[in-house]
């Protein structure tokens, strides 16, 4: 598996200001990785380029051995006329039905199954939406602030469950929370303003999976490196 981004130049339609200028970076291993940077630097834009939603740019994005690429973000909505259970049951491929029960339990969604999406809190909506993507067949899943409204304890439980269930998949996690990015992610791509070169800096995160010990000093050093790079 490999994601390679090479010499990307891009400006929003009608704008003379570049978002990306000769942006290059790569990720070569499956795992839980991160895309980090300040607001407005182009994280979501780059995510949409990777998925093929945005195609009018110069440069090249190469995705090897990843046929199914999905993108989920925290403001997505599900149809209002189905209960959570009925929606998940309808969109889940038959081979993944057993996993649906496991994710619902791990993500704390059992009390929500008979409710409609609009009746859920923002955190419950985020967890439900993420669950439906994890139940699909995918090789790369981009999670754009997918757990933004979820409390920290539940968020950690969810991330660790994802890492346990999908060790051979590729995740690109977009978040403004520098501590969780440093703690849970393996490779961290720090996006910066196009005025800075290189525009993307690759750092190594702590890749915590719940099985190893995590040293506070190592986490603090990683956070500092990310902040300095940004």
Tens of pLDDT along 107-117? 999 999 999 99
Q: Would residue 207 count as lying in a domain? A: yes
Band the pLDDT of 78: cuts 50, 70, 90. Answer: confident
Q: Would residue 46 count as lying in a domain? A: yes
Q: Would residue 88 count as lying in a domain? A: no
pLDDT for 48 equals 95
Q: For residue 220, report the phi and psi dihedrals to the nearest 5 degrees.
A: -60, -40
Number of structural domains found in the chain: 1
pLDDT for 14 equals 85
Q: Does the pLDDT at position 17 exceed 90?
A: no
Q: What is the token pair recorded at 38?
A: 């300040």
Residues 78, 132 contacting (CB under 8 angstroms) = yes
Q: Would residue 36 count as lying in a domain? A: yes
- pLDDT, one tens digit per residue, over 139-159 is 999 999 999 999 999 999 999
Going from the C-alpha of 138 to that of each of 47, 66, 104, the distances in angstroms are 15, 8, 19
Q: Would residue 115 count as lying in a domain? A: no
Return the CA Rg of the chain: 18
- DSSP strand pairing (58-64 vs 31-36): unpaired
Q: Is 184 exposed, middle or buried (0-12, 13-18, 19+ CB in 10 A)?
A: buried
For 102, residues 6+ apart whose C-beta sits below 8 A from its C-beta are 165
Band the pLDDT of 82: cuts 50, 70, 90. Answer: confident
Q: Would residue 133 count as lying in a domain? A: no
Q: Would residue 121 count as lying in a domain? A: no
How large is the average pLDDT for residues 7-25? 92
Range of the domain at 28: 2-77+138-229
CATH number of the CATH domain containing 27: 3.40.50.300
Q: Would residue 190 count as lying in a domain? A: yes
Instruction: Tally Cβ neighbours within 10 Å of residue 12.
Output: 12
Please, where are the H alpha helices in the chain? 43-51, 84-91, 97-106, 122-134, 152-165, 178-184, 216-229
- pLDDT, one tens digit per residue, over 84-132 is 999 999 999 999 989 999 999 999 999 999 999 999 999 999 999 999 9
């Amino acid at each position: 598996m490999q994601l390679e981004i090479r010499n990307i130049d891009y400006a929003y339609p009608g704008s003379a200001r570049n978002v990306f200028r000769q942006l290059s970076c790569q990720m070569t291993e499956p795992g839980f990785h991160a895309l980090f940077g300040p607001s407005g630097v182009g994280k979501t834009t780059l995510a949409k380029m990777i998925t093929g939603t945005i195609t009018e740019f110069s440069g090249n994005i190469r995705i090897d051995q990843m046929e199914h690429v999905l993108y989920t973000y925290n403001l997505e909505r599900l149809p209002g006329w189905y209960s959570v259970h009925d929606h998940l049951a309808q969109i889940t491929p038959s081979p993944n039905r057993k996993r649906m029960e496991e994710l619902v339990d791990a993500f704390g969604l059992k009390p929500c199954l008979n409710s409609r999406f609009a009746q859920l809190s923002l955190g419950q909506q985020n967890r439900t939406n993420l669950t439906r993507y994890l139940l699909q067949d995918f090789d790369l899943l981009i999670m754009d602030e997918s757990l933004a409204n979820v409390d920290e304890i539940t968020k950690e439980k969810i991330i660790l469950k994802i890492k346990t269930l999908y060790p051979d998949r590729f995740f690109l996690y977009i978040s403004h929370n520098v501590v969780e990015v440093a703690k849970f992610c393996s490779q961290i791509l720090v996006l910066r303003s196009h005025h800075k070169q290189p525009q993307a800096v690759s750092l190594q995160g702590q890749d915590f999976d719940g099985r190893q010990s995590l040293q506070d000093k190592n986490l603090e050093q990683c956070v500092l490196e990310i902040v300095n790079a940004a």
